[in-house]
Amino acid sequence: MKEIKVYLRKDRTDLVIQKLEEVGIKGMTVLDANALAEWADEEAFSYSIEYVQKYSTVVKLELICEDSDVEKLVNVIAKYGKTGKSGDGWIFVSNIEKSIRIKTGEINQIK
């Protein structure tokens, strides 16, 4: 199992989620976030350049998937999240070692 974390522009979020649902994703976590990064988009804000270069409001998506689905999902996110401008965001893929269902206490060791 893999976890995909995505940081992307707010204005691309609806499209990316729609396209992920079209390829079979049934659930994900969607969070508003403030990014402290060099990839802030200066054109999208009316704040000072110094502020925009330091902080940027983004959306963070988190989803869990089978190893075999990673490339398909990353390709969808990259295709529909891209504007070609600075500040398009990042995609991170990590291994999941274990999951624990809170309701039942069921533990799944991931191989």
- Single out the residue of 47, 57, 51, 53 nearest to residue 9, CA to CA: 57
Q: Are 75 and 14 in contact (CB under 8 A)?
A: no
Q: Which pLDDT tens digit goes with each residue over 47-106?
A: 555 555 556 788 999 999 999 999 999 999 999 999 988 788 999 999 999 999 999 999
Q: How large is the average pLDDT for residues 35-48?
A: 57
40 has a pLDDT exceeding 90: no
- Helices 10-22 and 70-81: crossing angle, nearest 10°? 140
Q: How large is the average pLDDT for residues 16-41?
A: 85
**Residue whose tokens read 């992307």:** 8
C-alpha distances in angstroms, 16 versus 9, 68, 75, 76? Answer: 10, 20, 11, 7
6 has a pLDDT exceeding 70: yes
The model's pTM is 0.80
